Amino acid sequence: MDQTSFEQVVWIWSAIGVLVLPLTLWITPPFGRHTHHRFGPAMSNRAGWILMESPAVWCFTIIFVLGVSRSQSTAWLFWSLWMIHYVYRCLVFPLRTRTAGKQIPLVTVFSGFTFQLINGSFNGLSLGTFGTDYTNSWLGEPVMWMGIAAFLSGWLINLWSDEILLGLRKPGETGYHIPRGGLFEWVSCPNFLGEMIQWLGWALMCWNIAALAFAIWTISNLLPRALAHHRWYQAHFPEYPKSRTALIPGLL
């Protein structure tokens, strides 16, 4: 596949991501607190999480390494940032969660695995095979450094919020509590906000269609989930803070 054909395919993928948004606003995907037996067979939550996130590590890396050249020095920086996020997301985070006995529907695992397979492939190709501009000269582009700043800011917000969430349950607990502290004082899902900022930063620093497509899909996935989480908190905790919004302080 040449670069023009590849970009046309990714544009179509981006358009699908935009079309998915109203669907996920209408139907809440079966994940975490929104899981229900009507979604069919399920498996261990921890094993399912690791499985569905894994292509973002191995698929992305294999395709990137097979296509990258020595001259694409900046591409290796982007690969490192991607891996910092996904090694944590795929292995460290699920192994730290207290979800003993919890299940995740196979349909969720399959859809997540498929998405990461496509997403990892597209981004690996964009940085490796088609990333001929990522030489040392790319280090002089202001948009790259703005993107890296946004990526790292979002990543830190995500980590900070995850630490608060992971500390909510005592050993052996599987129930839910109202998160307190950090950005949770303003929004219900700062972890999702951090990830959205992170991948918008990725789109800036990479400045290619695959990175933009990932940002679009991230918003289409996490925006509806943030709204669903916010409604769930309000429905299950009468004392839930009235001043909190779902995702963006004071706005949404």
The mean-pLDDT minimum among 16-30, 64-78, 227-241 falls in 16-30
The percent of residues in the chain predicted with pLDDT above 70, rounded, is 96
Asked if residue 116 is part of any domain, the answer here is yes
Asked if residue 241 is part of any domain, the answer here is no
Checking if the pLDDT of 170 tops 90, the result is no
Total domain count for the chain? Answer: 1
Asked if residue 244 is part of any domain, the answer here is no
Asked if residue 250 is part of any domain, the answer here is no
Residue 126: the pLDDT is 97
Q: Which residue range is the domain that position 112 belongs to?
A: 6-169+180-236
- Residues 19-59: tens digit of each pLDDT: 999 988 887 766 667 666 677 898 998 999 999 999 999 99
Structure-token pair, residue 100: 């003993």
Asked if residue 220 is part of any domain, the answer here is yes
- Residues 171-202: tens digit of each pLDDT: 777 788 999 999 999 999 999 999 999 999 99
Query: At 245, is the secondary structure helix, strand, or coil?
Result: strand
Please, what is the angle between helix 106-127 and helix 45-53, to 10°?
20
The percent of residues in the chain predicted with pLDDT above 90, rounded, is 82
Asked if residue 252 is part of any domain, the answer here is no
Residue 28: the pLDDT is 74
Asked if residue 151 is part of any domain, the answer here is yes
Q: What is the mean pLDDT of residues 91-98?
A: 90
252, 246 Cβ separation under 8 angstroms? yes
pTM: 0.93
Residue 36: the pLDDT is 61
Rounded to 10 degrees, the C-alpha dihedral 50/53/59/65 comes to: -90
Question: Residue 106 and residue 42: Cα distance in Å, rounded?
Answer: 5
Asked if residue 245 is part of any domain, the answer here is no
Burial grade of 222 (CB within 10 A; 0-12, 13-18, 19 or more): buried
Checking if the pLDDT of 99 tops 90, the result is no
Q: What is the mean pLDDT of residues 3-25?
A: 95
